[in-house]
Structure 1
Amino acid sequence: MAKLNQIIAVEKGVKSKAQQELTGAHRDLAKPVLLSGISRTYQPKDEEGEQLPPESTRVQLQAESVLRSTAAALTRLFDVTATKDWANCEARADVTVDGRVVVSDVPVSYLLFLEKQLTELHAFIRSLPVLDASESWNLDASTDSWKTEPVRTIRTKKVPRNHVKAEATEKHPAQVEVYYEDVPVGYWTTVKFSGALPARRVNEILERVEKTQQAVKFAREEANGAEVTDRRVGDAVLGYLLGP
């Protein structure tokens, strides 16, 4: 008895062959010359008339024959696809992570859905904002965010000062140079807040997602290893559609 993964493996080839058969049949039937034949004989009006050989062209393509060959190719496709789809309804497996069954008795179609969603979720988690590692953060319950310890810094103000380079004399005024001095005028106390996540939290979620991705793949392989029952649908459908 075949297994579901074997049916899936051959389905693509069967589909490709059926498509080629159908395309070829459509192309050939569109050529009237292949479907046409003729037979002509010549008889002169009297015995002294010119004798001409008969002419004939045979029919090269029988539409009924094309229908039979097309039906045969499509029957195989109908049967393989039916076998796969019926089996997909019955093939199931548990998604187990670290010995814990996260979802039980999951059909193949949903396992495929999970695989796609987990890939997208993994990319989303990797893009999450992470707290600046150069700061020390603590969770603040009042704001439901992370905050740093207060940091006190001095606020300064530039105050002009005069530097006398040369004292005034009877002949020359004093030479004075103006410069600015930073003078402390107050203090800033700064606390930073952030809504980002600790790197540890992001890494934990990523690890869970990756483990679940592996579990879903294992479950799909297990489900696809189930034995299948051959379904004979093609004869019934095509026999009705293209039969005599």
Structure 2
Amino acid sequence: MPKLNQVIAIEKGTKSRSLQELTDAHHSLQKPTLLSGISRTYRPKDEEGEQLPPESTRVQLRSEEIIRQTTDSLVKLFDIVATKDWANCKAKADVVVDGTVLLSQVPATYLLFLEKQLVDLHTFIKKLPVLDAAESWTFDTSADCWATEPVQTLKTKKVPRNHVKAEATEKHPAQVEVYYEDIVVGSWRTVKFSGALPAQRVNELLARVEKLQEAVKFAREEANNLEVEEQKLGAKVFQYLFK
């Protein structure tokens, strides 16, 4: 008896080949010239009349023959898909992570769905924002996010000052140069907040999803290792259609 994974392995190729043959048959039957034939013989009006050779064109395609050929191809496809679908009703396996059964007796079709979803979840987790490693972060429960330690920075203001380069005389005014002096007028207390995640947390989530991906693949392989009972339904379908 074949196993489910063997049936699945040949299903795609069989389906592609059968549908191509069906398409080719359909296109062939749309060409009236291939289905038509003729036989003509010429008889002169009297014995002295011109003698002409007979003309004939043979029928190249016969609809019943095309139906038989197409049926033979599709019967195999119908049987393979039926065998797979009937087996999928019985194909089940446990998803085991670290020796513990996480999901019990999961159908093979759901395992395939789960495997595809975990690929998307892996991408999602890998793209999660990570806290800036250049900062030191602690969780602030009041803000419900991560925060840095407060940093004090001074606020300054430029104040103009006069510098007398030369005193005034009777003939010349004083020579004064204006310059600016930075005067501390206050201070800033800055705390940065972030809704990102620590790198350790993201790495932990990635490890979990990768471990689950591996467990689901093992379960799917185990489920698909089921020995199947071959189904022969295609002939019944086409006997009804074309009897």
Task: State whether TM-score is above 0.5.
Answer: yes
Amino acid at match of 2:203: N
What pairs up with 1:52-91 in 2 under 5 angstroms? 52-91=52-91
Q: Which residue of 2 aligns with 1:167?
A: 167
Q: Which residue of 1 aligns with 2:152?
A: 152
User: What 5-or-longer segments of structure 1 have no aligned partner?
Assistant: none
How far has the Cα of 1:220 moved from its partner? 1.6
Q: Which stretch of the first structure deviates more once superposed, 4-13 or 164-173?
A: 164-173
How far has the Cα of 1:120 moved from its partner? 1.4
Deviations 1:144-176 (A, max 9, x none): 222222222222211111112222223222211
Amino acid at match of 1:84: K
Amino acid at match of 2:13: G
Find the aligned partners of 2:124 and 2:180 in 1 and give their Cα distance.
53
How far has the Cα of 1:119 moved from its partner? 1.5
Q: Which stretch of the first structure deviates more once superposed, 41-50 or 25-34?
A: 41-50
How far has the Cα of 1:209 moved from its partner? 1.0
Amino acid at match of 2:102: V
Find the aligned partners of 1:130 and 1:137 in 2 and give their Cα distance.
12
Q: Which residue of 2 aligns with 1:96?
A: 96
User: What 5-or-longer segments of structure 2 have no aligned partner?
Assistant: none
What pairs up with 1:1-244 in 2 under 5 angstroms? 1-243=1-243
How far has the Cα of 1:211 moved from its partner? 1.2
How far has the Cα of 1:47 moved from its partner? 4.2
* Cα 1:187–1:49 shift into 2, 3 Å: closer
Find the aligned partners of 1:46 and 1:108 in 2 and give their Cα distance.
82
Find the aligned partners of 1:232 and 1:48 in 2 and give their Cα distance.
67
How far has the Cα of 1:23 moved from its partner? 1.9
Deviations 1:110-165 (A, max 9, x none): 11211221111122112222222122111122222222222222222111111122
Find the aligned partners of 1:31 and 1:5 in 2 and give their Cα distance.
41
Amino acid at match of 2:132: D
Amino acid at match of 2:242: L
1:90 counterpart SS class: coil
Find the aligned partners of 1:179 and 1:50 in 2 and give their Cα distance.
127
2:96 counterpart SS class: strand
Find the aligned partners of 1:69 and 1:200 in 2 and give their Cα distance.
62
* Cα 1:53–1:158 shift into 2, 3 Å: closer
Find the aligned partners of 2:34 and 2:146 in 1 and give their Cα distance.
81
How far has the Cα of 1:37 moved from its partner? 2.5
1:13 counterpart SS class: helix
Q: Which stretch of the first structure deviates more once superposed, 167-176 or 204-213?
A: 167-176
Find the aligned partners of 1:221 and 1:151 in 2 and give their Cα distance.
56
Find the aligned partners of 2:163 and 2:195 in 1 and give their Cα distance.
51
Count of matched residue pairs = 243
Amino acid at match of 2:95: V
Deviations 1:68-98 (A, max 9, x none): 1111011011111111122222211222222
Find the aligned partners of 1:242 and 1:25 in 2 and give their Cα distance.
15
Find the aligned partners of 1:24 and 1:156 in 2 and give their Cα distance.
84
RMSD, aligned CA: 1.8
* Cα 1:37–1:163 shift into 2, 3 Å: same
